[in-house]
């Protein structure tokens, strides 16, 4: 895995097992030491693939809200438990999804939430077509900071970037301090779709990425007479489907 500042990522580290307590590199809040340099905008391992549409999605939000875990859940279907390792700079993962019989390759950038990396990550905003903005439902400060994140997004990202708000760690019901309605209300105020996710259980993680992929695919391939894809409606219908099938 490449990182802006390095070759070793927390994705590949010893946290991949949910019960393992990891070695020296994963002590609480201490970032990995990185050795190589690469840039997610120039991925080395994937040459351009003409039959696929490449879309760039960026994960944003305070440190420890669960950005890396949400990405690993989506990419590998696993939960990164164990000690928390903060991301350094920026990392990325690719995943190909099928949207209406068309392959869409998502290149997903996982950014460091820590303040000290902000100037590094700002440089990448403009290349993202979609942004998943996360807060932690058990940490009020991460929710309160969403407005500041949206201000930064409006300053640095493309004007038509697709934004989705995610309240992560929905499995932690006992520690919850932000109600779903508060997330809904904030999202409505900014006109962005919202859902709660859990990287631990997987709830809504795939749905979040698929809704983004659908929106981006529809924007790129929309015929003049075709109705506009309604991401809010799609999410609501899919949420109801999962709830009625006991998948939430």
Ligand X SMILES: Nc1nc2c(ncn2[C@@H]2O[C@H](COP(=O)(O)OP(=O)(O)OP(=O)(O)O)[C@@H](O)[C@H]2O)c(=O)[nH]1
Q: Is 133 helix (H, G, I), strand (E, B) or coil?
A: strand
Contact 88, 176 (CB under 8 A): no
Query: Whole-angstrom Cα distance, residue 9 to residue 108?
Result: 14
- Position 114 contacts ligand X (CB under 6 A): yes
Q: Is 120 in the site for ligand X (CB under 6 A)?
A: no
53/142 with CB nearer ligand X: 142
Choose the stretch contacting ligand X; rule: CB under 6 A; options: 78-86, 178-186, 222-230, 240-248: 78-86
- Closest approach of Cβ 110 to ligand X, in Å? 6
Residue 70 to residue 150: CA distance in whole angstroms = 20
Q: Which is nearer to ligand X, 99 or 106 (CB)?
A: 106
Tokens 């795939």, located at residue: 206
Query: Nearest distance from residue 142's CB to ligand X, in Å?
Result: 9
176 Cβ contact partners less than 8 Å away, ≥ 6 residues apart: 137, 138
Give the one residue of 67, 93, 105, 139 binding ligand X; rule: CB under 6 A: 67
Nearest CB to ligand X, comparing residues 6 and 113? 113
| 180 Cβ contact partners less than 8 Å away, ≥ 6 residues apart | 167, 196
Selected binder of ligand X within 3, 6, 113, 167 (CB under 6 A) = 113
Per CB under 6 A, 58 contacts ligand X: no
Reference 160, options 190, 126, 195, 189; nearest CA is 126
DSSP strand pairing (90-99 vs 102-111): antiparallel
Residue 124 sits in the site that holds ligand X (CB under 6 A): no
* 162 DSSP β-pair partners: 130
Q: Return the residue of 7, 43, 81, 180 that touches ligand X, per CB under 6 A.
A: 81
Q: Is position 167 an interface residue for ligand X (rule: CB under 6 A)?
A: no
Residue 80, interface with ligand X (CB under 6 A)?
Answer: yes
Distance CA 237, CA 243 (A): 10
Residues 177 to 216: which contact ligand X by CB under 6 A?
Answer: 198-200
Residue 3 carries which DSSP code? B
Specify the length of the chain in residues. 248
Q: Does 66 bind ligand X (CB under 6 A)?
A: yes
Nearer to ligand X, 40 or 61 (CB): 61
Answer for which of 25, 38, 63, 242 binds ligand X (CB under 6 A) is 63
Where does this chain bind ligand X (CB under 6 A)? 61, 63-69, 80-81, 84, 86-87, 112-114, 168-169, 171-172, 198-200
């Amino acid at each position: 895995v490449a990182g802006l500042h390095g070759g070793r990522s927390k994705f590949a580290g010893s946290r991949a097992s949910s019960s393992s307590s990891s070695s020296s590199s994963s002590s609480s809040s201490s970032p990995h030491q990185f050795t190589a340099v690469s840039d997610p905008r120039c991925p080395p391992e994937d040459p351009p693939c003409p039959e696929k549409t490449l879309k760039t999605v960026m994960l944003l939000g305070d440190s420890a809200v669960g950005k890396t875990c949400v990405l690993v859940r989506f990419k590998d279907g696993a939960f990164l438990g164990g000690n928390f390792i903060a991301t350094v700079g920026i990392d990325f993962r690719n995943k190909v999804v099928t949207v209406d019989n068309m392959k869409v390759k998502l290149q997903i950038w996982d950014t460091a939430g820590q303040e000290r990396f902000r100037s590094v990550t700002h440089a990448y905003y403009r290349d993202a077509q979609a942004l998943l903005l996360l807060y932690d439902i058990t940490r009020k400060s991460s929710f309160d900071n969403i407005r500041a994140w949206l201000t930064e997004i409006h300053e640095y990202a493309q004007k038509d970037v697709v934004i989705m708000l995610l309240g992560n760690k929905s499995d932690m019901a006992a520690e919850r301090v932000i109600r779903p309605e508060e997330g809904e209300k904030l999202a409505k105020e900014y006109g962005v779709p919202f859902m709660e996710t859990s990287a631990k259980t997987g709830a809504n993680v795939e749905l979040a990425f698929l809704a983004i992929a659908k929106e981006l695919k529809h924007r790129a391939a929309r015929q003049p007479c075709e109705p506009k894809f309604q991401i809010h409606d799609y999410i609501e219908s899919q949420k109801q489907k999962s709830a009625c099938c006991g998948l939430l």
